[in-house]
Amino acid sequence: MRHRYSILFFPLHVIVDSLSLNVAFVGAYLLKFQTIEGVSTPPYTSLWLLFNLIWLIEVLILKPYVFPRQLFKAGHLLKKMLLLTAIHIAVISMYWVAIRGYYYSREHLVITYALFLSLGAALRIAGLVFLREYRARGYNTRRYVIVGYGKLAASIHSFYETHPEMGFRFHGYFDQPTPENVGLIKGTYNELLSYVEKESIDCIYCCLTYMDNDRLKVIADHAEAGNYQVKILVDFRGFLARGASVEYHDFLPVLNLSSQVLSDFQVNIFKRSFDILFSVAALGLGMPIFFLLAAITKLTSAGPTFYAQERIGQGGKPFKIYKFRSMYTNAEQSGPVLSGGLLDNRITPWGRFMRQTRLDEIPQFYNVLKGDMSVVGPRPERQFFIDQIIEIAPEYRSLLEVKPGITSIGQIKYGYAASVEEMVQRLRYDLIYPKRRSFFFDMWIIAQTLRVMAQGRGK
């Protein structure tokens, strides 16, 4: 049976929230009255039953636990919980006024909701972390194929490869054979439906850029019988990057291409505050380690402890980036040269260790405090290489709209680039970041970076 455990998510959510609500109610009574004897006797018996009844009705009407995997995030879960709790408070308040239940302790009610929100939020975040790790390890997965091969198809594949915690497993591209896709496709359009049935595929992504409506209709018509979802990919990226928006005329979606300023003030302020606090904590708590790294760098090879180099930041503004020196001095006498990886003979033995563990990047917390960089963001490059990258991948310009960072998705998934071509490959990962900026996404990137450092897998 496909996804035999997924159907348990809804009842599990209901049970967990119901238990949390009851624990909060009894716990608040204990905190207020230093006993629980009266909680099961009138008048609190009726209030206790009403608490559970209202919550059950909310769950049945609003269905708050149904989320697609792409929206199964802490923010969505907590917002939904806050909404349900607000409705619950409103109904209880009306009941309290209607029956003139002034004999109920208002302090007990306040403590109940405070405990419930705290417990519910903690359980949701813990469950989310567990489920993401569970799916990243290959359990509770969804199988998908992509119809049509090209840049748009590669983008959705890259997205799920970058986010294994969503639990989507790729089973191949399907397209008509061409010289460009030889050896890259799983099969043709005619072989698609039989493969979907044989491999129990859950989702088919259809790229309208590479297929016609007749083929899409055939796939959609068989969806119910084949027990799979059909999702359509349309490439609006070039328009949306210029500030386009979607308007709805009744049920008809209309893309508005008028230019507009897209500025998320709250995200930027919150991110800058986090950058400052995190950098101060890292520099303050890690000061003994920094002095040790500086001393070893100085003693193991001739030259300065720190290395400064001009990079291009947000909006194309140049700045000086700082690192612990990992190469011998005069490594670029003949001009800008990319590192040839850990086997580059310009890298010192100690520098090789620092690069593997990313310890050479630590001085960049100073850049973060100055405002040149962020803790998380696409890696900054030199203008010499940016000019070459843009010739191959013009979409790189969009990365200059956000502040560069110490660590990024590209650093985690790809690492140091030894050529412009490798820089372009790393770029495919970093392009995801500007569209998905959030506190929890930054936390995930930082956690993955710490794992790479601990395992010494930086390349």
Supply the CATH number for residue 190's domain: 3.40.50.720
pLDDT the model gives residue 265:
56
Confidence of residue 260 (pLDDT cuts 50, 70, 90): very low
- What does the alpha-carbon distance between residue 342 and residue 169 come to, in Å, rounded to a whole number? 32
Whether 221 maps to a domain, the answer reads yes
Whether 254 maps to a domain, the answer reads no
pLDDT the model gives residue 409:
87
* pLDDT at residue 343 greater than cutoff 70: no
CA dihedral angle for residue 193, residue 199, residue 201, residue 205, rounded to 10 degrees? -60
Mean pLDDT of 70-87: 83
pLDDT the model gives residue 345:
79
3-state secondary structure of 230: strand
User: Quick one: 34 exposed, middle or buried, by C-beta within 10 A (0-12, 13-18, 19+)?
Assistant: exposed
The answer to whether 319 and 372 have CB atoms below 8 angstroms apart is: yes
Mean pLDDT of 242-260: 56
Mean pLDDT of 121-138: 86
3-state secondary structure of 449: helix
pLDDT the model gives residue 19:
94
Which of 77, 112, 136 is where one domain is finished? Answer: 136
Listed range (123-132, 234-243, 409-418) with the worst mean pLDDT: 234-243
3-state secondary structure of 382: coil
Whether 45 maps to a domain, the answer reads yes
287 and 430 part of one domain:
yes
323 and 437 part of one domain:
yes
- What does the alpha-carbon distance between residue 368 and residue 104 come to, in Å, rounded to a whole number? 52
- What does the alpha-carbon distance between residue 429 and residue 405 come to, in Å, rounded to a whole number? 14
pLDDT the model gives residue 237:
56
pLDDT the model gives residue 7:
63
Which of 41-55, 153-167, 405-419, 434-448 tops mean pLDDT? 41-55
Confidence of residue 242 (pLDDT cuts 50, 70, 90): very low
- What does the alpha-carbon distance between residue 231 and residue 148 come to, in Å, rounded to a whole number? 13
pLDDT the model gives residue 261:
39
pLDDT the model gives residue 89:
94
Whether 244 maps to a domain, the answer reads no
Mean pLDDT taken over the chain: 84
- What does the alpha-carbon distance between residue 383 and residue 67 come to, in Å, rounded to a whole number? 43
Whether 257 maps to a domain, the answer reads no
What is the percent of the chain with per-residue pLDDT over 90, rounded to a whole number? 32
Give every CB contact of residue 134 below 8 A, 6+ residues apart in sequence. Answer: 140
Confidence of residue 293 (pLDDT cuts 50, 70, 90): very high
* pLDDT at residue 128 greater than cutoff 50: yes
- What does the alpha-carbon distance between residue 381 and residue 424 come to, in Å, rounded to a whole number? 12
121 and 21 part of one domain:
yes
The better pLDDT of the pair 234, 327 is held by 327
124 and 89 part of one domain:
yes
Confidence of residue 263 (pLDDT cuts 50, 70, 90): very low
* pLDDT at residue 337 greater than cutoff 80: no
Bridge partner residues of 376 (DSSP): 407
Mean pLDDT of 157-178: 89
107 and 122 part of one domain:
yes
What is the torsional sign of CA 385, 414, 424, 437?
Answer: negative
DSSP state at residue 305: S
Determine how many CB atoms are found less than 10 A away from the CB of residue 317: 10
Whether 279 maps to a domain, the answer reads yes
419 and 298 part of one domain:
yes
Helix (H) or strand (E) holding 111: helix 106-136
The better pLDDT of the pair 451, 364 is held by 364
Amino acid occupying residue 413:
K
Confidence of residue 251 (pLDDT cuts 50, 70, 90): low
* pLDDT at residue 333 greater than cutoff 60: yes
Mean pLDDT of 381-385: 88
pLDDT the model gives residue 312:
92
pLDDT the model gives residue 214:
85
Whether 246 maps to a domain, the answer reads no
pLDDT the model gives residue 79:
87
32 and 122 part of one domain:
yes
pLDDT the model gives residue 30:
95
283 and 352 part of one domain:
yes
* pLDDT at residue 176 greater than cutoff 80: yes
Which of 104, 136, 168 is where one domain is finished? Answer: 136
Give every CB contact of residue 354 below 8 A, 6+ residues apart in sequence. Answer: 293, 297, 324, 326, 360
378 and 392 part of one domain:
yes
The better pLDDT of the pair 196, 455 is held by 196
Whether 56 maps to a domain, the answer reads yes
Q: Which of 363, 341, 210, 201 is nearest to 279 (CA)?
A: 363
The answer to whether 399 and 369 have CB atoms below 8 angstroms apart is: no
Confidence of residue 373 (pLDDT cuts 50, 70, 90): very high
439 and 400 part of one domain:
yes
- What does the alpha-carbon distance between residue 420 and residue 381 come to, in Å, rounded to a whole number? 11
pLDDT the model gives residue 341:
58
131 and 218 part of one domain:
no
- What does the alpha-carbon distance between residue 28 and residue 34 come to, in Å, rounded to a whole number? 9
- What does the alpha-carbon distance between residue 136 and residue 308 come to, in Å, rounded to a whole number? 38
Which of 89, 116, 136 is where one domain is finished? Answer: 136
Counting the structural domains of the chain, the total is: 3
Confidence of residue 105 (pLDDT cuts 50, 70, 90): very high
161 and 297 part of one domain:
no
Which structural domain, as residue segments, surrounds residue 279? 265-455
